[in-house]
Structures are given as C-alpha cells and as structure tokens.
Amino acid sequence: MRTANAFNVAAVHVVGRRRWNRRGAMVTDRYLHVHHHADVDALAAWAEEQDLPLLGIDNLPGAVPLETTTLPRACVLLFGQEGPGLSDAARAACATTLSIAQFGSTRSINAGAAAAIAMHLNRLVPDVEVVVLERGHHTSYSACGVPYWVAGEVDGPDALVARTPEEHRERGIDVRLGSEATAVDTDARTVTYRDLAGEQVVTYDRLVVATGARSILPDLPGIDAGNVQTVKDLVDGQQVLDRIRAGARRVAVVGSGYIGIEMAEACLAQGLEVTVVERESTPLPIVEDEIGELVADAMREKGAQVVTGAAVTGFGVREDGAVTSVRTDEDDYPADLVVAAFGVAPRGDLLTPAATGPKDGIVTDDQQRVLRPDGSVLADVWAAGDCVVTLDRLTRTPIHLPLGTHANKQGMVAGESLAASLGADWSGRVFPGAVQTAITKFCDLEIARAGLGRAQADDAGLDVVSASVESTTVAGYYPGAEPMTLWGLAERGTRRLLGVQVAGGRGAGARIDVAAMALWSQMSVDELVMTDLSYAPPFSSVWSPVQVLARALVKRLDQ
C-alpha cells in the first residue's frame, strides 16, 4: 500500500484472499480506493471493461525494463507477492511484463537503421520534430553481437547498446518504444501504430521506413513449440540464455548461415551438446563447397555434430509443448532447445505503393528514396536497412543484403537526403551499392567472402573461371603461421575479378578487404597481381595470398 501511494495511483485492487494488514488498509483508505477481486481473471475482466491495459510487474529475465517503456496514460500495474512474484496465470493475463530496477533480491517491487537516421537528421536540421516508432524496447544496438553475448565473450546486453532511448531523447528525438507500425497511408500521410494503450495514428511530413528483416519460420509441425528460438535481437538472446540456465543441454541449430554457425559456437562455449542441421551439402552455403568443408571440419573438431543434405520436416514436441527433437527426411535428432536459423526476409509490406525486389524488399534510388513500380519516386518517403534491396555493383542487379555495414551507410544517406528536402545543404552523397563483403568465424577458423559465387555468376549469365590456392596467414617460416585457403572467380573476356572467398587461421579473414577494394574498383586479375601491397614476414608472405590467387586466375584465363 505504501508503494501504491508512492506511485500516486488512482486506486488499489487486491487480488485473491484478503490477507493484508488491517491497519495498513485503514491508513491507505484515507488516500486510496481499495477494491477486491477473487482472482486474476476477475481483475482482467474488470480492466477490459474499463479499456485499461493490464501490465505485469516482475523482475524476471526477459522482462522489459520500465525505464525503456512509454506507459499509456492509464493502465493497471499488476504486482506479485514478495517472494514468488507473479503467478503463471497472472503473467499470462498481462499484455506484457515489465521490470523495475531495485536493490535487494526479491521479485516484487517494494520501495536499427531508424535511430541512426534520426540522429543524423537531428544534427543536420536541429529544429525538426523527429518521432521514432520502435516496436521493441531497445534502440541503436548491435544485433550482430548477440551470439558473442550468449557465448560469454561480451559482458552483457548493455555492452551491445550504442545509444539508449534516453540518450536519443536528450537530443530531442521523440522515441516511442513498444510502438509497432501496422499501416502506412502515403496519401493521407499517416502511420498507424499499436502500443500498450491500443491503436494510435501519427501524421508525417517526411517518412523513413527502417523496419528491418524478420526471421523466416517455415510452416513445419512443432515449429511453434516454446523452446524453438530465433536469434534476431536482444530479447531473443536473453531468451536463449534463460533456457540454457533453466537446464537445456542439447541444442540443435537448424540452418548454418552466419547466425547459425555463430550460435553453434556460442552454445559449445556454454558447454552444450550441439547438432547443426543444414539442408545444403556443406555448412555456410553462401560459400563454395571447398570452403564450406573447412567449416564442417572445424565444427566437428570442436565437438559439434554436423548433419548436411538433410531437409527438416518438423519437430518432436512433448505434451507440455516443449520440443524434444528435430525431424529430418533422414533421421531424428534429440534436442531440448532449437535455434531456428532459416534465414531472414525484409519487412517491406507496410509500403504497398512501393516497388519490391528480391524477397519482396523495398526498392529505392541511390538517395534511399522509395520508388514506385513505374520507377517514379514515392513523395517524401525514404527507406534503409534490412527492409530494402541493394544494388550489386558486379551484376548491376538488386539483391537483399541484410548486413549492418550497408544499413549504417544507407541510414546516413537517407538522413542527408531527407534533410536536404527540408532546406539543409546536401552533401551529394549517395549509396552506390555493394560487393557482398562479409566475414564471420567459427572458433579459430575465420571465413570471409566478397563478390560473386559460382552459382551467382551462372545466374547472371557470366562466362567465368575459378581457382583455389593454399597459403599461410604470415610468412610460412614465421612463428604462428597458420594455413589458409583462398577461392576466386574471374570473368573471361574482361578478365575482371568477380569473387574471392577465404578460410583460415587468425588474420585470414582480414585479407578479404583487399579483394573487396579490387572488386569495388572493377580491377582485372592482371592489375591485382601488380598492385603494391605491404610485406614483412610477421604480416604476410612476399606475395600477398590474394595476389597468389590472382596469379592462379591469370593462368586459368590464359589456358
């Protein structure tokens, strides 16, 4: 009751048995109206009649911190008992569960692309009113760092946050958390969104869409089991850790793209039994098979079971709704936690007037202005990040590249272009596309790629040759030298470099940046062979490994 007074609430509702101190009630009655409900269902029914959202307060893992949430003007806050906190029934009745920072150990409470655009716009045109709708409860964080947090290599989720909602608000940006955009009317210039208070509408003069990508979850039996988990944001990372701490011991990672192999490493670091299930012939199918085989070998060496060429057909589920296995067209693999890494798809469905490209991603021009299907610009609407498609500079065709590097650059370009439409000086900066540069690792093996793979080149109708070479991360005789494998692709006729892939020990992955610059500049393999690169035994062989690969490609072209 003293807590209720501190919150300055309109009324107190006691749920369950009337076991509370009479004197406290008498004192409280001087200030508050006290109501009684037999159970949580009765309270929930009353709240629904009053059109009041019911919000739980309980310091559980995964609960949303109250300080990151914008509460509705009126709501019911449901507290639990001092020791056990909210019951299962109470949590189920609540729209969401919030936590409040406190001292002590009891559970009761006594005594991505969008934020970057907003920040950039705020600096360029400081007097503009900027409203950011974010359906989650965090801003400006590194989703790419989640596997390393799960692995224990990063101290906690706070380390992944670049700017908090409060820091954005201090700069004059109206950040509305827990606010999911559900519709855009570009004629009326309105965005409809849903928050804890219900459906809201906000008008706009300029609109930026940075809705990101969603995890792909195919329609398979059992995929909705409680411990089938995607890994897309901080909440997902916390849920994985919660399940591990609750006793999960056998983890199946379905899909072995970047997130899949990084989460496999994270779960091994947590001491779990790990099975990786991949429908293609090798893990990390974005790379060629000979590079993928090195990834498979590294996984098996660290104790993971690697299953390739197996299509998932469903999941075994117990009567209580918990997953027990991953079922494939070849065998069943036991698991009490499944990391679903089937890939991602752009969230571009809000903008129905927009042109769409691969995977239904939004099509923009090089200023990130959204385009209509006829190629004209959709007035005063920009888009950036994982929800859009990107120009591949090698094939001059659109491709979906959900990577943070592109999202940040696109956000900057969109912010500057939008600011120019409001009268700010325009830098003339545009987003020129990408060459698909990416890097990851599995334990001690670094893997990187840039440019096209063989299948992409074939799809583009290019006449190509390929080559692969073995090298070392530093001079072969220098202490610490580790093996590395390079694969490359070049086009007949033009002799231009089209793709490079690398796998090897520490330092191998960084070699991809030389290849990326060569691809960006449309260099021929002959030019790359003669490029002036650095050399000293502690850093490289006298011929850089990328140049050794370029020489091999020259030989193939000359045959």
3-class SS letters over 436-497: CCEEEEECCEEEEEEECCHHHHHHCCCCEEEEEEEEECCCCCCCCCCEEEEEEEEECCCCEE
Query: Which superfamily is assigned to 438-558 in CATH?
Result: FAD/NAD(P)-binding domain (3.50.50.60)
According to CATH, the topology of domain 2-99 is Alpha/beta knot (3.40.1280)
Among candidates 202, 234, 214, which has minimal Cα distance to 68? Answer: 234
Rounded to whole angstroms, how far apart are CA atoms 320 and 338? 16
Mind listing the pLDDT tens digit for each residue in 195-253? Answer: 988 999 999 999 999 999 999 999 999 999 989 999 999 999 999 999 999 999 999 99
- Please list, in sequence order, all residues whose beta carbon lies within 8 angstroms of the beta carbon of residue 195, skipping any fewer than 6 positions away: 70, 72, 176, 178, 179, 180
Rounded to whole angstroms, how far apart are CA atoms 115 and 163? 9
Rounded to whole angstroms, how far apart are CA atoms 431 and 390? 9
pLDDT for 120 equals: 59
Rounded to whole angstroms, how far apart are CA atoms 350 and 322? 34
Q: Which residues pair with 65 in a beta bridge?
A: 99
pLDDT for 27 equals: 44
Mind listing the pLDDT tens digit for each residue in 307-324? Answer: 999 999 999 999 999 999
Rounded to whole angstroms, how far apart are CA atoms 146 and 237? 6
pLDDT for 17 equals: 66
Q: Say how far residue 158 (Cα) sits from the centre of its chain.
A: 16
Rounded to whole angstroms, how far apart are CA atoms 392 and 435? 6
pLDDT for 9 equals: 63
Mind listing the pLDDT tens digit for each residue in 171-186? Answer: 889 999 999 999 999 9
E-strand stretches of 141-290: 173-177, 180-185, 190-195, 198-203, 207-209, 213-215, 228-229, 250-254, 273-278
* Intervals of CATH 3.50.50.60 along the chain: 114-214+346-421, 228-342, 438-558
SS3 of 6, please? helix
In this prediction, the residues of the chain whose per-residue pLDDT falls under 70 are: 1-10, 17-33, 67-70, 73, 82-83, 100-126
Among candidates 387, 383, 382, which has minimal Cα distance to 347? Answer: 387
Rounded to whole angstroms, how far apart are CA atoms 481 and 540? 9
* Intervals of CATH 3.40.1280.10 along the chain: 2-99
Pairing of strands 377-383, 207-209: parallel
pLDDT for 84 equals: 73
CB 539 within 8 A of CB 474: yes
Q: Is the dihedral of CA 294, 295, 297, 301 positive or negative?
A: positive
SS3 of 41, please? helix
Rounded to whole angstroms, how far apart are CA atoms 478 and 549? 21
Burial pattern 347-382, b for ≥16 Cβ within 10 A else e, equals bbebbeebbbbebebbbbeebbbbbbeeeeebebbb
CB 389 within 8 A of CB 371: no
Q: Which residues pair with 308 in a beta bridge?
A: 278
SS3 of 153, please? coil
Rounded to whole angstroms, how far apart are CA atoms 29 and 25? 6
Pairing of strands 337-340, 228-229: parallel
Length of the chain: 559
Catalytic residue set: 144
Among candidates 416, 400, 403, which has minimal Cα distance to 360? Answer: 400
Rounded to whole angstroms, how far apart are CA atoms 337 and 275? 11
The CATH code of domain 114-214+346-421 reads 3.50.50.60
Query: Which superfamily is assigned to 228-342 in CATH?
Result: FAD/NAD(P)-binding domain (3.50.50.60)
pTM, to two decimals: 0.78
